[in-house]
């Protein structure tokens, strides 16, 4: 059976768009996608402002130095900023800004409160009976720090760790904030 990464690597741009729209129907996933897109938009705006500032400084230079500066300005336009997604916290980051405490995440797994016949216990969500997982108001906590869902940023800090996606022609999955290639 083909892995999900290989299947996504073989999908067309239109198919990937349809998959993303379908996945974004889930509120938590949609919020995560919107967060990543907002981060990318912010980085694009910063880069555009830097390019505009470089153009303004080039215009105020003498003609000879201006011609030399424009050559370097063209090079800066083609430089692409690579943003990676962290597999620990699932947030976007830039490697040059990846400090020792940049990432905040949980090391544990989800537990769900189970109650039956006067007994109370916690089971891993993936192993709990349907009667417990079907209850949306059942208490869910993390095994590492007992934090409830959306109540804690993360109990462990460290450097971001890039998500690695094994695609047929690509060793790592990176998000490029530059222009998309026209042949994709």
- Which residues face 103 on adjacent strands? 158
Using CA atoms, how far residue 36 sits from 30, 48, 56, 132, in Å, is 10, 18, 31, 32
Domain extents for the chain? 4-86+166-176
Answer with the residue of higher pLDDT: 60 or 132. 132
Q: Which residues pair with 176 in a beta bridge?
A: 82
DSSP strand pairing (110-116 vs 140-142):
antiparallel
CA distances for 166 relative to 23, 35, 50, angstroms: 21, 24, 34
Does residue 1 carry a pLDDT above 90?
no
Q: What is the pLDDT of residue 166?
A: 59
Give pLDDT tens digits for 78-121. Answer: 445 577 888 888 888 888 889 999 999 999 999 999 999 999 99
pTM of the predicted structure, to 2 decimals: 0.52
**How high is the mean pLDDT of the chain?**
78
Q: CA-CA distance, 26 to 18, in Å (whole number)?
A: 14
Which helix (H) or strand (E) covers residue 17, if one does? helix 13-23
* 135-164 per-position pLDDT tens digit: 888 899 999 999 998 788 899 999 999 887
Q: How does 12-50 read in b/e, with b if 16+ C-beta sit within 10 Å?
A: eeeeeeeeeeeeeeeeeeeeeeeebeebbeebeeebeee
């Amino acid at each position: 059976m083909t892995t999900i990464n290989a299947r996504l690597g073989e999908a067309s741009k239109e198919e990937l768009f349809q998959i993303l729209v379908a996945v974004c129907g889930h509120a938590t996933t949609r919020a995560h996608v919107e967060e990543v897109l907002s981060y990318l938009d912010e980085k694009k705006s910063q880069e555009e402002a830097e390019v505009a500032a470089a153009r303004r400084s080039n215009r105020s230079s003498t003609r000879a130095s201006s011609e030399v500066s424009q050559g370097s300005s063209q090079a800066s336009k083609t430089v692409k900023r690579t943003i990676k997604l962290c597999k620990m916290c699932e947030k976007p980051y830039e490697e040059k800004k990846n400090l020792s405490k940049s990432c905040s995440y949980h090391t544990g797994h989800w537990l769900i409160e189970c109650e039956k016949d006067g007994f109370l216990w916690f089971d891993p969500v993936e192993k709990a009976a349907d009667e417990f997982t079907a209850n949306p108001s059942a208490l869910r906590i993390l095994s590492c720090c007992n934090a409830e869902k959306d109540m804690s940023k993360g109990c462990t800090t460290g450097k971001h760790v890039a998500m690695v996606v094994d695609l047929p022609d690509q060793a790592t999955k990176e998000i490029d904030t530059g222009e998309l290639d026209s042949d994709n």
